[in-house]
Structure 1
Amino acid sequence: MRAKVVGREVVAMVDSGASHNFVSKKLIAELGLVCDESVFFGVCLEDGCRVSCQVVCRELEVDMGQCRIQIEGYLFEFGGIDLILGVDWLRTLGDVLLNWNKMEMRFSWGDQTVVLKGDPSLSRSIVLFKGISKVSEVEFCGAILIKWSGEKKGGTDKDGAEEVMSNIIAKYEGVFQEPSELPP
């Protein structure tokens, strides 16, 4: 969904699988917001990888159209999303009615009923290979399956896929080696 932070439009995701709220490091830097750098918070990602967050932005005001909320957002780097609203925020709402088909979420906020709607244009997008190479501060845990269909248009690699994949393979060379023993 779309929201605003300090008047700037952001892409936000409501995620009941996230224990806390997370905000993009890049967004906070661009807005020049002051954060608390005295925290140490470990995050276990869905795939089992662990990363650390060492900065939290307290009292971050988020304008969601029908309501304004204040959250604590741990700084994190992720692609394409500026803000993740997790259980830390969701638990404050009480009863919530979800309609997955309509991408709607209803809850009471003060004396009004708030209906937040997802933006269908944000739910699916094609990721270029160049975007993969910009992922940072997250351990590379996973496999990349490439199905090359068709030929290069005009004899050129339009989105730089070959170069990006070569760089990824070189950077994580050990991952692509044949295992010689069982993992620990």
Structure 2
Amino acid sequence: MGRGVCRGVVLKIQEIHVREDFLLLELVSLDVILGMKWLQTLGETKINWRTLMMELVMGGRRRTIQGDAGLTKAGVSLKSMIRSIQEVGGGYLVELHYLERVSVRDEGDIPLVVQQLIQQFREVFQPPQGLPPPREQEHAILLKDVVSPISVRPYHYPRFKKMKSRS
């Protein structure tokens, strides 16, 4: 577990006052974690992860908490996570990332080695134009007249059954 409990701590988040018991944990670059225990007390909330905004109802009033984008890059060291899991016996780690499509506007953004490969194999990186050209050997499946399709199990079975199906 942690190194103790601080009971009845009042934490002010913007204009919201939270009174909770906090476990003392050694975490790198984090001051407080308000976890599932606190989130469950809120009931229904609305969260916009892109704008880091959380809407909730406390004391019958709709409140909004605005997150600080500068704090979203805070990391937890692997060593402190392992230590916490060993002491507590388990836990959850949730990491959310926002991905956006990036287009390369300038060839200067592409490393020189990659640019050389792209130039050397330019035709490979072009979008396909129609069907592939005719080949020297075209693929074909020759069908025999009056022969029914072979019905064979798609997985291995004993040898004696294979011999039976040939006769």
Of Structure 1 and Structure 2, the greater strand share is in 1
Of Structure 1 and Structure 2, the greater helix share is in 2
TM-score, structure 1 normalization? 0.41
TM-score, structure 2 normalization? 0.44
